[in-house]
Structures are given as structure tokens and as C-alpha cells.
């Protein structure tokens, strides 16, 4: 089932469908995102608004439903970005939206005190996804690949393994944290 994460009714319907199909919700992984790059002085405010609606408002809406429905022993995992810790001209709006995700993650973990539900974030580094590769030249891709000591882009599988760790029993003592799954990019 698909849903626009910026639409509260659509997200509620998605969670209701999961409840019906599976008898409840144990893990929520919120990965929906939009990336628009531009120097802040030139940022098209309509593009910025669309990005913030997905990245920030969408995280609020999904996490609100998750906070209401995830059963004890469960996990909420949001996706942030390692760009927050880097100086990358043109990434101001995107980095700000992902910093909001990390703030929500940390605070929600504390709001769910006593519920036995963990809330964490994964902050991928440059990862070979359609969103990351879109519009980048081979030189830009090489720049990002060489930024990590492992000298490669991450793969979706790299990130999925980190998510699985935080969502599974081995990661259940980790709570309110952001795991920078980025190959060592600083």
C-alpha cells in the first residue's frame, strides 16, 4: 500500500491497513525523502516547501502514527543524512530538513519512556540510490565516493543492514541515537 507521507489521513490509513493485515505494528522504518539542492540565497521556496513537507512534516506524521501504534518491544527507525556534519554548499535546505529528523528522533525516544519502544535514526553517507545519483556528474559521484575512507559509495544493502540491526533484538538497547552509516565520512 502506498501513501503520501505528508498526508495525515493517508498515513493513518496505511497504519490501519498494517494493523488489519498483521495484527499490529512492530517496526516502522521511515525512509521517504526528497532532495533539492541549491545555495540558500537562490533556493526556490516552492521547492524548499515541497522538500520540507516530505522530509520534516512527513517524519512528524509517520512518527505520530508510529508512536500511537508500535507495540512493546518494537522499533521506529527514521532516515536522516550524514550531510548534517559536512560543509557541502547547496545542501543547506536538505541538511536542515534532516537535522529536524534527528531532533524528532531523540525527543520521541524520550516521549515513549516506559513503552519498551526504541526510536533511532540512520544517517547514511553517499549511497548509490536514485535520489543521490540524480543530476550528479561522474566527477561529483567520484568526489563523494572518494570522501569515505572505504573509497566507495554505500549501497542500499549497507543501509538496510544498519536498519535491521536497530530494528532487531541485537539493537534494542540503543535508543534515541543516530547511527552514521557512512563508510567513515566526516
| Class level of CATH domain 8-179 | alpha beta
Cα–Cα distance for residue pair 11/73, rounded to 1 Å? 22
Q: What is the mean pLDDT of the chain?
A: 95
- 38: helix, coil or strand? coil
* pLDDT value at 85 more than 90: no
Mean pLDDT throughout 146-151? 93
In the DSSP assignment, the letter for residue 148 is S
pLDDT band at 76 (very low <50, low <70, confident <90, very high): very high
Catalytic residue set: 94
Percent of all residues in the chain with a pLDDT value above 70, rounded to a whole number: 100
Judge whether residue 186 has pLDDT over 80. no
Contact 98, 80 (CB under 8 A): yes
What gap in Å lies between CA 122 and CA 4, rounded to an integer? 21
Cell of 96: 536542515
Distance CA 160, CA 88 (A): 25
Domain ranges for the chain: 8-179
Q: Are strands 118-122 and 178-179 parallel, antiparallel or unpaired?
A: parallel
Q: What is the pLDDT of residues 92-109, one digit of tens each?
A: 999 999 999 999 999 999
Q: Is the pLDDT of residue 5 over 90?
A: yes
Which of the four pLDDT bands, split at 50, 70 and 90, describes residue 68? Answer: very high
Burial 25-56 (b: 16+ CB within 10 A, else e): bbbbbbbebbbbbbeeeebeeeebeebbbbbb
Amino acid at each position: 500500500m502506498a501513501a503520501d507521507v505528508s498526508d495525515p489521513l493517508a498515513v493513518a490509513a496505511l497504519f490501519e491497513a498494517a494493523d488489519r493485515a498483521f495484527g499490529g505494528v512492530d517496526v516502522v522504518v521511515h525512509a521517504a525523502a526528497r532532495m533539492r539542492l541549491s545555495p540558500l540565497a537562490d533556493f526556490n521556496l516552492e521547492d524548499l516547501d515541497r522538500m520540507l513537507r516530505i522530509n520534516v512534516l512527513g517524519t512528524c506524521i509517520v512518527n505520530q502514527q508510529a508512536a500511537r501504534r508500535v507495540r512493546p518491544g518494537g522499533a521506529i527507525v527514521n532516515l536522516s543524512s550524514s550531510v548534517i556534519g559536512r560543509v557541502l554548499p547547496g545542501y543547506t535546505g536538505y541538511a536542515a530538513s534532516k537535522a529536524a529528523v534527528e531532533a524528532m528522533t531523540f525527543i520521541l525516544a524520550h516521549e515513549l519512556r516506559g513503552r519498551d519502544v526504541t526510536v533511532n535514526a540512520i544517517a547514511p553517507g553517499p549511497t548509490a540510490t536514485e535520489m543521490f545519483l540524480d543530476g550528479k556528474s561522474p566527477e561529483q559521484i567520484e568526489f563523494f565516493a572518494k570522501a569515505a575512507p572505504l573509497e566507495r559509495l554505500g549501497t542500499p544493502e549497507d543501509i538496510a543492514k544498519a536498519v535491521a540491526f536497530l530494528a532487531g533484538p541485537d539493537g534494542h538497547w540503543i535508543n534515541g541515537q543516530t547511527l552514521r552509516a557512512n563508510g567513515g565520512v566526516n
